[in-house]
Amino acid sequence: MPQPTRVDVAAQPDELLDPPGRGSIRFRTLISAPATNTSDIVFGVAMLAPGETFALHSHPQPEVYFGLEGTEEVMIDGVPHRLGPGIALYIPGGAVHGVPVAKGHLKWAFTFAADSLADIQYSYPHETSDD
Q: What is the mean pLDDT of residues 12-33?
A: 94
CB neighbour burial string for 78-96, b if at least 16 within 10 angstroms, e if fewer = eeebebeeeeebebeeebe
Q: What is the mean pLDDT of residues 110-116?
A: 97
Residues contacting residue 9 through CB under 8 Å, at least 6 positions apart: 28, 30, 45
Question: pLDDT digits over 87-108, tens only?
Answer: 999 999 999 999 999 999 999 9
CATH number for the region 23-115 comes to 2.60.120.10
| Amino acid making up residue 50 | P
Question: pLDDT digits over 65-74, tens only?
Answer: 999 999 999 9
Instruction: Reply yes or no on whether the pLDDT at 130 is more than 70.
Output: no
Please give the residue that has the higher pLDDT: either 68 or 19.
68
**Phi, psi torsion values for 118, nearest 5 degrees:** -65, -20
CB neighbour burial string for 40-66, b if at least 16 within 10 angstroms, e if fewer = eebbbbbbbeeebbbbbbbbebebebb
Partners of 75 in the β-ladder:
80, 98
Instruction: Reply yes or no on whether the pLDDT at 131 is more than 60.
Output: no
